[in-house]
Amino acid sequence: MSERTPQGPETASRQIAAILRAAIDQGDLLPGDKLPSERELAAAHRVARNTAREAVRQLAEAGLVVAEHGRGVFVRTKPRLMRFGQRRYSKKLRDETEISPFHAEVIAQERTPNAYMTSIERVIPPPEIAERLGVSGDTHSVVRRENWYFADAEPMQRGVTYIPWDIAKDSALGGSDDLGPGDLYARFEDKGHLITYTREEVTARMPSPEEASGLQLPDGVPVLVVLHTGLDQDHQPFEVTEFVMRADYTGLDYTMKVDE
Closest CA to 141 of 149, 154, 150, 132: 132
Report the number of distinct structural domains present in the chain.
2
**Residue 220 has what pLDDT?**
76
Query: 229 near 239, Cβ under 8 Å?
Result: yes
**Residue 84 has what pLDDT?**
86
pLDDT: is 248 or 41 the higher one? 41
Indicate if the pLDDT at residue 1 is higher than 50. Answer: no
Does 25 share its domain with 148? no
Amino acid identity for residue 181 in this structure: P
Give percent above pLDDT 70 in the chain. 95
Query: Which of 45, 75, 105 lies at the terminal end of a domain, its last residue?
Result: 75
Give percent above pLDDT 90 in the chain. 70
What is the DSSP track for 147-175?
Answer: EEEEETTEEEEEEEEEEEHHHHTTSGGGT
- Domain for residue 1, yes or no? no
CATH code, domain with 230: 3.40.1410.10
What are phi and psi for residue 51, nearest 5 degrees? -70, -40
Does 68 share its domain with 97? no
Does 58 share its domain with 108? no
**pTM of the complete model:** 0.76
**Residue 10 has what pLDDT?**
59
Indicate if the pLDDT at residue 9 is higher than 90. Answer: no
Band of residue 228 on the pLDDT scale cut at 50, 70, 90: very high
What is the DSSP track for 44-99?
Answer: HHT--HHHHHHHHHHHHHTTSEEEETTTEEEE---PPEEEETTGGG-HHHHHHH-S
Does 155 share its domain with 216? yes
- Tens-digit pLDDT profile for residues 103-134: 999 999 989 999 999 999 999 999 999 999 99
- Tens-digit pLDDT profile for residues 154-189: 999 999 999 999 999 999 999 999 999 999 999 999
- Domain for residue 2, yes or no? no
Does 21 share its domain with 85? no
CATH code, domain with 63: 1.10.10.10
Does 22 share its domain with 107? no
Closest CA to 54 of 19, 7, 10, 104: 10
List the domain range (segments joined by +) for residue 174: 81-253
pLDDT: is 79 or 98 the higher one? 98
For 138, what's the count of Cα atoms within 13 Å in the CB-facing half-sphere?
A: 0
Mean pLDDT to the nearest integer, 70-80: 83
Does 23 share its domain with 108? no
**Residue 2 has what pLDDT?**
45
How many Å apart are CA 80 and CA 172, to the nearest integer?
Answer: 33
How many Å apart are CA 93 and CA 30, to the nearest integer?
Answer: 35
CB burial class (10 A; 0-12, 13-18, 19+) of residue 29?
buried
Query: CA dist 85 to 119, 184, 207, 239, Å?
Result: 25, 16, 22, 16
